[in-house]
Amino acid sequence: MSNVLKIKKGVEQGVNEFLKFLLESEKVKGIFALRKMNENGAVSYSLITHPEELKNAVPFAPLMPVNAGKILSGFTLEKAINEPIAAVLRPCELRAFIELIKRTQGNLDNYLLISSTCGGVYPLKSLTNGRFKEQVSQYWESVKNAEIASDVRPTCAACEYFIPQQADIIIATVGKKDLEKECSIFLNTKKGEEFAKGATGNIVTEEIETKDTSNLRQKREEQKKEDFDKLSKDGFGIKALVKIFAACLSCHGCSKACPICYCTLCDFDSKTHEYSPSSHEIEIEQKGGVRIPPGTLFFHTGRMIHMAVSCVSCGMCSDVCPVNIPVSTIFSKVGNSLQKLFDYLPGKDIEEPVPFGTYKEEEFTEIGEE
Amino acid sequence: MNEEYMPKIVGFLCNWCAYTGADLAGVARLKIPPSLRVIRVMCSGRIDPLFVTRSFFKGADGVIMMGCHPGDCHYQKGNYNARRRYVLLKNIFETLDLEPERVDLSWVSASEGPRYAKITEEFTEKIKKLGPNPVKEEIFI
Protein backbone atom coordinates (compact mmCIF):
# COMPACT_ATOMS: atom_id res chain seq x y z
CA MET A 1 0.00 0.00 0.00
CA SER A 2 1.30 3.43 -0.79
CA ASN A 3 -0.02 6.96 -0.84
CA VAL A 4 -1.56 8.07 -4.07
CA LEU A 5 -2.04 11.59 -5.28
CA LYS A 6 -5.30 11.74 -7.22
CA ILE A 7 -5.80 14.57 -9.67
CA LYS A 8 -9.21 14.98 -11.28
CA LYS A 9 -7.86 15.36 -14.77
CA GLY A 10 -6.77 13.14 -17.61
CA VAL A 11 -3.44 11.40 -17.11
CA GLU A 12 -1.50 13.47 -19.64
CA GLN A 13 -2.82 16.77 -18.39
CA GLY A 14 -2.59 15.73 -14.74
CA VAL A 15 1.04 14.67 -15.07
CA ASN A 16 1.90 17.81 -16.99
CA GLU A 17 0.43 19.87 -14.19
CA PHE A 18 2.31 17.87 -11.60
CA LEU A 19 5.57 18.43 -13.48
CA LYS A 20 4.74 22.10 -13.75
CA PHE A 21 4.18 22.21 -10.01
CA LEU A 22 7.60 20.63 -9.44
CA LEU A 23 9.28 23.23 -11.65
CA GLU A 24 7.37 26.26 -10.40
CA SER A 25 7.82 25.39 -6.73
CA GLU A 26 11.55 25.01 -7.52
CA LYS A 27 11.65 21.55 -6.05
CA VAL A 28 13.45 20.53 -9.20
CA LYS A 29 15.56 22.61 -11.56
CA GLY A 30 14.63 20.70 -14.69
CA ILE A 31 12.40 18.04 -16.16
CA PHE A 32 13.89 15.30 -18.26
CA ALA A 33 11.18 13.89 -20.49
CA LEU A 34 10.12 13.17 -24.04
CA ARG A 35 9.27 16.31 -25.97
CA LYS A 36 7.26 16.68 -29.16
CA MET A 37 9.52 17.59 -32.07
CA ASN A 38 7.09 17.86 -34.96
CA GLU A 39 3.45 17.29 -35.88
CA ASN A 40 4.05 13.79 -37.22
CA GLY A 41 4.69 12.42 -33.77
CA ALA A 42 8.48 12.52 -33.66
CA VAL A 43 9.76 12.90 -30.11
CA SER A 44 13.11 13.26 -28.45
CA TYR A 45 14.36 13.30 -24.90
CA SER A 46 14.86 16.85 -23.67
CA LEU A 47 15.79 18.75 -20.56
CA ILE A 48 13.09 21.33 -19.87
CA THR A 49 13.62 24.17 -17.43
CA HIS A 50 10.90 26.67 -18.39
CA PRO A 51 7.41 25.83 -17.10
CA GLU A 52 5.76 27.14 -20.29
CA GLU A 53 7.89 24.74 -22.37
CA LEU A 54 6.11 21.87 -20.61
CA LYS A 55 3.17 22.15 -22.98
CA ASN A 56 5.34 20.38 -25.55
CA ALA A 57 6.34 17.61 -23.12
CA VAL A 58 4.82 14.25 -24.00
CA PRO A 59 6.12 11.91 -21.30
CA PHE A 60 3.76 9.15 -22.44
CA ALA A 61 4.39 9.11 -26.17
CA PRO A 62 4.74 5.38 -26.92
CA LEU A 63 8.17 5.72 -28.50
CA MET A 64 11.70 5.23 -27.26
CA PRO A 65 14.15 7.14 -29.46
CA VAL A 66 17.00 6.09 -27.19
CA ASN A 67 17.16 4.23 -23.92
CA ALA A 68 17.03 7.06 -21.37
CA GLY A 69 19.08 5.06 -18.85
CA LYS A 70 22.06 5.65 -21.08
CA ILE A 71 21.47 9.43 -21.14
CA LEU A 72 20.95 9.76 -17.39
CA SER A 73 24.17 7.85 -16.81
CA GLY A 74 25.94 10.14 -19.26
CA PHE A 75 24.86 13.18 -17.22
CA THR A 76 26.42 11.77 -14.08
CA LEU A 77 29.48 9.93 -15.33
CA GLU A 78 31.92 12.09 -13.41
CA LYS A 79 29.85 13.20 -10.45
CA ALA A 80 26.25 13.55 -9.31
CA ILE A 81 24.26 16.37 -10.84
CA ASN A 82 24.28 19.39 -8.51
CA GLU A 83 20.64 20.44 -8.98
CA PRO A 84 17.66 18.16 -8.63
CA ILE A 85 16.13 16.92 -11.88
CA ALA A 86 12.90 15.00 -12.31
CA ALA A 87 13.35 12.31 -14.95
CA VAL A 88 10.31 10.70 -16.53
CA LEU A 89 11.24 7.37 -18.02
CA ARG A 90 9.96 3.88 -18.70
CA PRO A 91 10.52 0.92 -16.36
CA CYS A 92 13.14 -0.73 -18.58
CA GLU A 93 15.01 2.55 -18.96
CA LEU A 94 15.00 2.95 -15.20
CA ARG A 95 16.34 -0.55 -14.73
CA ALA A 96 19.02 0.10 -17.35
CA PHE A 97 20.05 3.25 -15.45
CA ILE A 98 20.35 1.35 -12.17
CA GLU A 99 22.30 -1.37 -13.94
CA LEU A 100 24.70 1.26 -15.29
CA ILE A 101 25.13 2.78 -11.83
CA LYS A 102 26.09 -0.65 -10.54
CA ARG A 103 28.73 -0.74 -13.22
CA THR A 104 30.02 2.63 -11.94
CA GLN A 105 28.64 4.53 -14.91
CA GLY A 106 26.43 7.01 -13.13
CA ASN A 107 25.06 8.44 -9.94
CA LEU A 108 21.53 8.40 -8.60
CA ASP A 109 21.80 11.43 -6.29
CA ASN A 110 19.58 14.42 -7.08
CA TYR A 111 17.46 12.50 -9.56
CA LEU A 112 13.75 12.24 -8.86
CA LEU A 113 12.76 9.16 -10.80
CA ILE A 114 9.25 9.26 -12.20
CA SER A 115 8.01 6.28 -14.14
CA SER A 116 4.74 4.74 -15.19
CA THR A 117 3.20 1.33 -15.53
CA CYS A 118 4.12 0.67 -19.10
CA GLY A 119 2.08 -0.49 -22.06
CA GLY A 120 5.12 -0.73 -24.27
CA VAL A 121 6.43 1.38 -27.14
CA TYR A 122 6.18 1.18 -30.90
CA PRO A 123 9.16 0.48 -33.12
CA LEU A 124 10.61 3.77 -34.31
CA LYS A 125 9.88 2.76 -37.89
CA SER A 126 6.14 3.15 -37.08
CA LEU A 127 6.62 6.90 -37.34
CA THR A 128 6.80 6.61 -41.10
CA ASN A 129 4.14 3.98 -41.71
CA GLY A 130 1.40 6.58 -42.21
CA ARG A 131 -0.98 5.33 -39.55
CA PHE A 132 0.93 6.14 -36.42
CA LYS A 133 -1.71 8.48 -34.98
CA GLU A 134 -4.36 5.82 -35.41
CA GLN A 135 -2.07 3.32 -33.68
CA VAL A 136 -1.57 5.63 -30.73
CA SER A 137 -5.30 5.94 -30.08
CA GLN A 138 -5.61 2.15 -30.23
CA TYR A 139 -2.67 1.95 -27.87
CA TRP A 140 -4.48 3.83 -25.10
CA GLU A 141 -7.55 1.62 -25.50
CA SER A 142 -5.35 -1.45 -24.99
CA VAL A 143 -3.59 0.10 -22.00
CA LYS A 144 -6.92 0.95 -20.38
CA ASN A 145 -8.16 -2.59 -20.82
CA ALA A 146 -4.83 -4.07 -19.69
CA GLU A 147 -4.25 -5.82 -22.98
CA ILE A 148 -1.17 -6.16 -25.14
CA ALA A 149 -1.27 -3.31 -27.67
CA SER A 150 -0.87 -4.63 -31.19
CA ASP A 151 2.24 -3.73 -33.22
CA VAL A 152 4.32 -2.68 -30.19
CA ARG A 153 7.92 -3.83 -29.99
CA PRO A 154 8.06 -7.62 -29.66
CA THR A 155 9.97 -7.32 -26.38
CA CYS A 156 7.34 -4.92 -25.03
CA ALA A 157 4.57 -7.37 -25.87
CA ALA A 158 6.50 -9.97 -23.89
CA CYS A 159 7.62 -7.78 -20.96
CA GLU A 160 6.62 -8.83 -17.45
CA TYR A 161 8.40 -6.03 -15.62
CA PHE A 162 6.12 -3.16 -16.54
CA ILE A 163 5.69 -1.94 -12.95
CA PRO A 164 8.69 0.23 -12.02
CA GLN A 165 9.12 -0.79 -8.37
CA GLN A 166 12.35 1.22 -8.07
CA ALA A 167 10.84 4.59 -9.08
CA ASP A 168 10.15 7.37 -6.58
CA ILE A 169 6.87 8.21 -8.25
CA ILE A 170 4.80 5.83 -10.37
CA ILE A 171 2.02 6.98 -12.64
CA ALA A 172 -0.59 4.29 -13.06
CA THR A 173 -1.89 3.73 -16.57
CA VAL A 174 -2.34 -0.01 -17.08
CA GLY A 175 -5.93 -1.08 -16.41
CA LYS A 176 -7.06 2.43 -15.41
CA LYS A 177 -10.46 2.60 -17.09
CA ASP A 178 -10.96 6.29 -16.24
CA LEU A 179 -7.68 7.38 -17.76
CA GLU A 180 -9.22 10.49 -19.32
CA LYS A 181 -10.82 11.67 -16.09
CA GLU A 182 -8.48 10.75 -13.29
CA CYS A 183 -4.76 10.71 -12.80
CA SER A 184 -3.23 8.43 -10.14
CA ILE A 185 0.27 9.34 -9.02
CA PHE A 186 1.73 6.72 -6.68
CA LEU A 187 4.25 8.09 -4.20
CA ASN A 188 6.40 5.03 -3.98
CA THR A 189 9.24 6.27 -1.75
CA LYS A 190 9.84 8.82 1.00
CA LYS A 191 11.63 10.98 -1.53
CA GLY A 192 8.60 10.87 -3.81
CA GLU A 193 6.29 11.94 -0.98
CA GLU A 194 8.62 14.75 -0.05
CA PHE A 195 8.56 16.16 -3.56
CA ALA A 196 4.81 15.80 -3.97
CA LYS A 197 4.06 17.75 -0.79
CA GLY A 198 1.93 20.76 -1.64
CA ALA A 199 0.70 19.51 -5.00
CA THR A 200 -3.00 19.90 -5.69
CA GLY A 201 -5.07 16.74 -5.43
CA ASN A 202 -6.38 14.27 -2.89
CA ILE A 203 -4.22 11.75 -1.11
CA VAL A 204 -5.61 8.24 -0.80
CA THR A 205 -3.98 4.87 -0.28
CA GLU A 206 -4.03 2.25 -2.97
CA GLU A 207 -2.18 -0.81 -4.22
CA ILE A 208 -0.30 -0.56 -7.49
CA GLU A 209 -0.75 -4.25 -8.19
CA THR A 210 -4.29 -4.89 -9.30
CA LYS A 211 -6.15 -7.73 -10.93
CA ASP A 212 -5.62 -5.98 -14.26
CA THR A 213 -1.85 -5.78 -13.89
CA SER A 214 -1.55 -9.44 -12.96
CA ASN A 215 -3.77 -10.32 -15.92
CA LEU A 216 -1.54 -8.37 -18.25
CA ARG A 217 1.54 -9.96 -16.75
CA GLN A 218 0.10 -13.37 -17.41
CA LYS A 219 -0.74 -12.49 -21.00
CA ARG A 220 2.74 -11.17 -21.59
CA GLU A 221 4.35 -14.23 -20.03
CA GLU A 222 2.41 -16.38 -22.48
CA GLN A 223 3.47 -14.12 -25.31
CA LYS A 224 7.07 -14.42 -24.23
CA LYS A 225 6.90 -18.20 -24.22
CA GLU A 226 5.34 -18.13 -27.66
CA ASP A 227 8.07 -15.82 -29.00
CA PHE A 228 10.83 -17.99 -27.59
CA ASP A 229 9.25 -21.12 -29.04
CA LYS A 230 8.80 -19.49 -32.41
CA LEU A 231 12.44 -18.51 -32.46
CA SER A 232 13.79 -21.97 -31.76
CA LYS A 233 11.26 -24.74 -31.69
CA ASP A 234 13.88 -27.47 -31.85
CA GLY A 235 16.69 -25.55 -30.19
CA PHE A 236 19.26 -23.38 -31.92
CA GLY A 237 22.50 -25.18 -32.72
CA ILE A 238 25.11 -23.73 -35.00
CA LYS A 239 23.05 -24.25 -38.18
CA ALA A 240 20.02 -22.35 -36.89
CA LEU A 241 22.19 -19.55 -35.48
CA VAL A 242 23.95 -19.05 -38.79
CA LYS A 243 20.53 -18.77 -40.44
CA ILE A 244 19.16 -16.30 -37.85
CA PHE A 245 22.18 -14.00 -38.11
CA ALA A 246 22.61 -14.59 -41.84
CA ALA A 247 21.72 -11.05 -42.85
CA CYS A 248 23.91 -9.33 -40.22
CA LEU A 249 25.81 -6.43 -41.76
CA SER A 250 28.18 -6.14 -38.83
CA CYS A 251 27.12 -2.51 -38.38
CA HIS A 252 27.25 -3.00 -34.56
CA GLY A 253 24.16 -0.79 -34.28
CA CYS A 254 22.71 -3.16 -31.69
CA SER A 255 25.66 -2.60 -29.39
CA LYS A 256 25.58 1.15 -29.90
CA ALA A 257 21.88 1.36 -29.08
CA CYS A 258 22.19 -1.02 -26.12
CA PRO A 259 22.05 0.79 -22.76
CA ILE A 260 24.21 -1.84 -21.07
CA CYS A 261 26.96 -1.71 -23.72
CA TYR A 262 28.58 1.39 -22.28
CA CYS A 263 32.20 0.84 -23.37
CA THR A 264 33.52 3.83 -25.30
CA LEU A 265 35.53 1.48 -27.45
CA CYS A 266 33.86 -1.89 -27.83
CA ASP A 267 36.28 -4.80 -27.91
CA PHE A 268 34.73 -5.83 -31.21
CA ASP A 269 35.41 -2.43 -32.78
CA SER A 270 39.00 -2.48 -31.60
CA LYS A 271 42.17 -3.69 -33.29
CA THR A 272 41.85 -7.04 -31.52
CA HIS A 273 39.03 -8.12 -33.78
CA GLU A 274 40.14 -6.38 -36.93
CA TYR A 275 40.65 -8.61 -39.93
CA SER A 276 43.92 -7.79 -41.65
CA PRO A 277 44.68 -9.00 -45.18
CA SER A 278 46.81 -11.76 -43.70
CA SER A 279 44.06 -12.95 -41.37
CA HIS A 280 41.77 -13.29 -44.38
CA GLU A 281 44.46 -15.35 -46.06
CA ILE A 282 44.90 -17.59 -43.05
CA GLU A 283 41.17 -18.17 -42.82
CA ILE A 284 40.93 -19.04 -46.52
CA GLU A 285 43.81 -21.43 -46.15
CA GLN A 286 42.29 -23.11 -43.11
CA LYS A 287 38.65 -23.21 -44.09
CA GLY A 288 38.57 -22.66 -47.82
CA GLY A 289 36.42 -19.53 -47.61
CA VAL A 290 35.59 -16.52 -45.53
CA ARG A 291 32.41 -14.54 -44.96
CA ILE A 292 32.59 -10.77 -45.49
CA PRO A 293 32.12 -9.11 -43.05
CA PRO A 294 33.65 -11.87 -40.94
CA GLY A 295 32.93 -12.94 -37.38
CA THR A 296 29.32 -11.78 -37.06
CA LEU A 297 28.22 -14.78 -35.03
CA PHE A 298 31.24 -14.39 -32.79
CA PHE A 299 30.33 -10.74 -32.26
CA HIS A 300 26.80 -11.56 -31.14
CA THR A 301 27.91 -14.40 -28.86
CA GLY A 302 30.62 -12.19 -27.45
CA ARG A 303 28.14 -9.44 -26.73
CA MET A 304 25.92 -11.97 -24.97
CA ILE A 305 28.83 -12.93 -22.74
CA HIS A 306 29.48 -9.29 -21.90
CA MET A 307 26.00 -7.95 -21.25
CA ALA A 308 23.19 -10.53 -21.45
CA VAL A 309 23.18 -11.02 -17.67
CA SER A 310 22.19 -7.35 -17.32
CA CYS A 311 19.83 -7.28 -20.32
CA VAL A 312 16.69 -5.35 -19.41
CA SER A 313 14.90 -6.41 -22.63
CA CYS A 314 14.19 -2.86 -23.75
CA GLY A 315 14.26 -3.90 -27.41
CA MET A 316 16.48 -1.07 -28.67
CA CYS A 317 18.74 -3.59 -30.46
CA SER A 318 15.95 -5.06 -32.57
CA ASP A 319 14.61 -1.61 -33.23
CA VAL A 320 17.79 -0.28 -34.78
CA CYS A 321 18.64 -3.44 -36.70
CA PRO A 322 18.53 -2.50 -40.40
CA VAL A 323 17.93 -6.09 -41.48
CA ASN A 324 15.29 -7.03 -38.88
CA ILE A 325 17.18 -9.73 -37.03
CA PRO A 326 15.21 -10.57 -33.85
CA VAL A 327 18.23 -9.59 -31.73
CA SER A 328 16.28 -8.61 -28.65
CA THR A 329 14.31 -11.86 -28.50
CA ILE A 330 17.49 -13.92 -28.64
CA PHE A 331 19.25 -11.73 -26.10
CA SER A 332 16.20 -11.85 -23.83
CA LYS A 333 16.18 -15.61 -24.00
CA VAL A 334 19.88 -15.91 -23.20
CA GLY A 335 19.57 -13.18 -20.57
CA ASN A 336 16.58 -14.78 -18.88
CA SER A 337 18.40 -18.06 -18.62
CA LEU A 338 21.47 -16.38 -17.08
CA GLN A 339 19.39 -14.28 -14.72
CA LYS A 340 17.62 -17.41 -13.53
CA LEU A 341 20.96 -19.13 -12.99
CA PHE A 342 22.30 -16.32 -10.80
CA ASP A 343 18.88 -15.47 -9.32
CA TYR A 344 19.31 -11.91 -10.48
CA LEU A 345 16.94 -9.34 -11.92
CA PRO A 346 18.78 -6.47 -13.60
CA GLY A 347 17.99 -3.09 -12.10
CA LYS A 348 15.95 -4.49 -9.22
CA ASP A 349 18.22 -3.60 -6.37
CA ILE A 350 21.00 -1.05 -6.53
CA GLU A 351 22.90 -2.78 -3.72
CA GLU A 352 23.01 -6.17 -5.40
CA PRO A 353 26.28 -6.66 -7.34
CA VAL A 354 26.29 -7.65 -11.01
CA PRO A 355 26.95 -11.42 -11.14
CA PHE A 356 29.83 -10.98 -13.58
CA GLY A 357 32.84 -9.81 -11.59
CA THR A 358 31.84 -11.05 -8.19
CA TYR A 359 31.72 -14.53 -6.65
CA LYS A 360 30.91 -16.58 -3.58
CA GLU A 361 33.38 -19.11 -2.30
CA GLU A 362 30.72 -21.69 -1.54
CA GLU A 363 29.00 -21.95 -4.89
CA PHE A 364 29.23 -24.34 -7.83
CA THR A 365 31.61 -26.39 -5.69
CA GLU A 366 31.10 -29.54 -7.77
CA ILE A 367 32.58 -27.88 -10.85
CA GLY A 368 36.10 -28.91 -11.88
CA GLU A 369 36.50 -31.50 -9.15
CA GLU A 370 35.54 -34.78 -10.87
CA MET B 1 45.57 -46.94 -43.70
CA ASN B 2 42.73 -45.96 -41.46
CA GLU B 3 44.05 -43.23 -39.25
CA GLU B 4 42.37 -42.82 -35.91
CA TYR B 5 40.52 -39.56 -35.42
CA MET B 6 42.39 -37.32 -33.01
CA PRO B 7 40.44 -34.23 -31.97
CA LYS B 8 42.03 -30.83 -31.65
CA ILE B 9 41.54 -29.47 -28.17
CA VAL B 10 42.61 -26.07 -26.91
CA GLY B 11 43.68 -25.98 -23.28
CA PHE B 12 44.09 -22.83 -21.21
CA LEU B 13 46.36 -23.71 -18.30
CA CYS B 14 47.20 -21.50 -15.38
CA ASN B 15 50.89 -20.93 -14.88
CA TRP B 16 51.08 -21.81 -11.18
CA CYS B 17 49.11 -25.03 -10.90
CA ALA B 18 47.82 -26.67 -14.07
CA TYR B 19 50.80 -25.82 -16.26
CA THR B 20 53.25 -27.01 -13.65
CA GLY B 21 51.08 -30.10 -13.20
CA ALA B 22 51.26 -30.73 -16.94
CA ASP B 23 55.01 -30.29 -16.79
CA LEU B 24 55.20 -32.81 -13.98
CA ALA B 25 53.16 -35.28 -16.01
CA GLY B 26 55.64 -34.84 -18.86
CA VAL B 27 58.69 -35.24 -16.65
CA ALA B 28 57.17 -38.39 -15.15
CA ARG B 29 56.70 -39.67 -18.72
CA LEU B 30 53.01 -40.33 -18.26
CA LYS B 31 51.10 -41.27 -21.40
CA ILE B 32 49.07 -38.27 -22.58
CA PRO B 33 47.08 -38.14 -25.84
CA PRO B 34 48.51 -35.61 -28.33
CA SER B 35 45.15 -33.85 -28.66
CA LEU B 36 45.71 -30.92 -26.33
CA ARG B 37 47.17 -27.63 -27.57
CA VAL B 38 48.26 -25.91 -24.42
CA ILE B 39 48.12 -22.15 -23.99
CA ARG B 40 49.69 -20.91 -20.79
CA VAL B 41 47.94 -18.07 -18.98
CA MET B 42 49.13 -16.49 -15.75
CA CYS B 43 45.88 -17.28 -13.94
CA SER B 44 42.64 -19.04 -14.77
CA GLY B 45 41.04 -15.69 -14.00
CA ARG B 46 42.75 -14.36 -17.10
CA ILE B 47 40.73 -16.68 -19.35
CA ASP B 48 38.30 -14.38 -21.06
CA PRO B 49 35.18 -16.33 -22.13
CA LEU B 50 35.84 -14.73 -25.52
CA PHE B 51 39.08 -16.78 -25.81
CA VAL B 52 37.01 -19.91 -25.42
CA THR B 53 34.29 -18.79 -27.81
CA ARG B 54 36.83 -17.71 -30.36
CA SER B 55 38.65 -21.06 -30.25
CA PHE B 56 35.28 -22.73 -30.58
CA PHE B 57 34.20 -20.73 -33.62
CA LYS B 58 37.61 -21.17 -35.21
CA GLY B 59 36.96 -24.90 -35.15
CA ALA B 60 38.45 -26.33 -31.95
CA ASP B 61 36.76 -29.66 -31.18
CA GLY B 62 36.97 -28.98 -27.48
CA VAL B 63 38.18 -26.31 -25.10
CA ILE B 64 39.36 -27.05 -21.58
CA MET B 65 40.33 -24.59 -18.88
CA MET B 66 42.51 -25.65 -15.98
CA GLY B 67 43.48 -23.77 -12.86
CA CYS B 68 44.35 -24.09 -9.19
CA HIS B 69 41.86 -25.69 -6.83
CA PRO B 70 39.50 -23.19 -5.18
CA GLY B 71 41.29 -21.57 -2.27
CA ASP B 72 44.73 -22.28 -3.74
CA CYS B 73 44.88 -19.50 -6.32
CA HIS B 74 48.26 -17.81 -6.57
CA TYR B 75 46.39 -14.51 -6.78
CA GLN B 76 43.85 -15.41 -4.05
CA LYS B 77 40.63 -15.22 -6.05
CA GLY B 78 41.30 -15.57 -9.78
CA ASN B 79 39.89 -19.06 -10.00
CA TYR B 80 36.65 -18.07 -8.26
CA ASN B 81 36.11 -15.50 -11.00
CA ALA B 82 37.05 -18.10 -13.59
CA ARG B 83 34.45 -20.45 -12.18
CA ARG B 84 31.66 -17.88 -12.52
CA ARG B 85 32.72 -17.05 -16.05
CA TYR B 86 32.75 -20.71 -16.91
CA VAL B 87 29.24 -21.20 -15.51
CA LEU B 88 28.05 -18.13 -17.44
CA LEU B 89 29.62 -19.29 -20.69
CA LYS B 90 28.32 -22.81 -20.29
CA ASN B 91 24.82 -21.47 -19.70
CA ILE B 92 24.96 -19.37 -22.88
CA PHE B 93 26.20 -22.37 -24.86
CA GLU B 94 23.35 -24.43 -23.41
CA THR B 95 20.74 -21.84 -24.39
CA LEU B 96 22.18 -21.61 -27.90
CA ASP B 97 22.58 -25.42 -28.17
CA LEU B 98 26.22 -25.06 -29.15
CA GLU B 99 27.21 -28.43 -27.65
CA PRO B 100 28.29 -27.15 -24.22
CA GLU B 101 29.87 -30.51 -23.39
CA ARG B 102 32.78 -29.47 -25.62
CA VAL B 103 33.74 -26.85 -23.03
CA ASP B 104 35.11 -27.93 -19.67
CA LEU B 105 36.86 -26.68 -16.59
CA SER B 106 39.05 -28.70 -14.21
CA TRP B 107 41.18 -27.93 -11.21
CA VAL B 108 44.68 -29.39 -11.31
CA SER B 109 47.32 -28.56 -8.74
CA ALA B 110 51.05 -28.34 -9.38
CA SER B 111 51.64 -31.76 -7.83
CA GLU B 112 48.83 -33.53 -9.67
CA GLY B 113 50.65 -34.80 -12.77
CA PRO B 114 48.68 -38.05 -12.90
CA ARG B 115 45.42 -36.12 -12.51
CA TYR B 116 46.38 -33.92 -15.45
CA ALA B 117 47.06 -37.00 -17.58
CA LYS B 118 43.77 -38.57 -16.52
CA ILE B 119 41.70 -35.45 -17.27
CA THR B 120 43.30 -35.00 -20.68
CA GLU B 121 42.72 -38.64 -21.47
CA GLU B 122 39.07 -38.57 -20.39
CA PHE B 123 38.26 -35.29 -22.11
CA THR B 124 39.88 -36.49 -25.34
CA GLU B 125 37.80 -39.68 -25.18
CA LYS B 126 34.66 -37.62 -24.63
CA ILE B 127 35.38 -35.39 -27.62
CA LYS B 128 36.27 -38.41 -29.75
CA LYS B 129 32.83 -39.81 -29.07
CA LEU B 130 31.21 -36.47 -29.96
CA GLY B 131 33.14 -36.28 -33.23
CA PRO B 132 34.39 -33.17 -35.00
CA ASN B 133 32.91 -29.82 -34.05
CA PRO B 134 29.92 -29.06 -36.34
CA VAL B 135 31.08 -25.43 -36.41
CA LYS B 136 33.74 -26.58 -38.87
CA GLU B 137 31.07 -27.38 -41.43
CA GLU B 138 29.98 -23.76 -41.39
CA ILE B 139 32.63 -21.93 -43.35
CA PHE B 140 30.85 -18.63 -43.74
CA ILE B 141 30.10 -17.49 -40.19
ipTM for this prediction: 0.94
Tens-digit pLDDT profile for residues B129-140: 999 999 999 888
**Residue type for position B112:** E
Enumerate the domain spans of chain A: 2-224, 233-341
CB contact under 8 Å between A237 and B98, yes or no, is: yes
pLDDT tens digits, A156-183: 999 999 999 999 999 999 999 888 899 9
Nearest CB to B50 within list A289, A305, A359:
A305
SS3 A45: strand
Can you give the pTM of this predicted structure?
A: 0.94
CB proximity A300 to B under 8 Å? no
Residues above pLDDT 70, as percent of chain B: 99
pLDDT in tens, A87-108: 999 999 999 999 999 999 999 9
Best A296, A359, A363, A369 residue to mutate vs chain B (most B CBs within 10 Å): A359
Domain edges within chain B: 9-137
**pLDDT classification of B2: cutoffs 50, 70, 90:** low
Residues of A in contact with B92 (CB under 8 A): 301, 304-305, 308, 334, 337-338
DSSP secondary structure, chain B, as one string:
--PPP---EEEEEETTTHHHHHHHHHHTT----TTEEEEEES-GGG--HHHHHHHHHTT-SEEEEEEPPTT--TTSSHHHHHHHHHHHHHHHHHHTTS-GGGEEEEE--TT-HHHHHHHHHHHHHHHHHH-S-GGGG----
What tens digit of pLDDT does each residue of A250-268 get? 999 999 999 999 999 999 9
Q: What is the pLDDT of residue A130?
A: 84
pLDDT exceeds 60 at position B31:
yes
In DSSP notation, B89-121 reads: HHHHHHHTTS-GGGEEEEE--TT-HHHHHHHHH
Q: What is the pLDDT of residues B58-103, one digit of tens each?
A: 999 999 999 999 999 999 999 999 999 999 999 999 999 999 999 9
Please identify, in words, the CATH class of the domain defined by B9-137.
alpha beta
H or E element in which residue A240 lies: helix A237-244
Work out the pLDDT band at A356, boundaries 50, 70, 90.
confident
Question: Looking at the predicted structure, is the pLDDT value of residue B3 above 80?
Answer: no
A233–B contact, CB cutoff 8 A: no
pLDDT digits (tens, 9 = 90+) for B111-129: 999 999 999 999 999 999 9
Judge: B70–A365 Cβ closer than 8 Å, yes or no: yes
Q: Is B88 on the interface with A (CB under 8 A)?
A: yes
Comparing A130 with B52, which gets the higher pLDDT?
A: B52
pLDDT band at A234 (very low <50, low <70, confident <90, very high): confident
- As a residue count, chain A comes to 370
Average pLDDT, chain A: 93
Average pLDDT over residues A199-226: 93
Report the alpha-carbon angle A245-A246-A247, nearest 5: 95
Mean per-residue pLDDT, A338-347: 95
pLDDT at residue number B64: 97
What mean pLDDT is predicted for residues A115-136?
A: 91
Nearest-by-Cβ selection for B92 from A267, A290, A305 = A305
**Cβ of residue B87 closer than 8 Å to a chain A Cβ:** yes
Q: How many CB pairs under 8 A join A and B?
A: 108
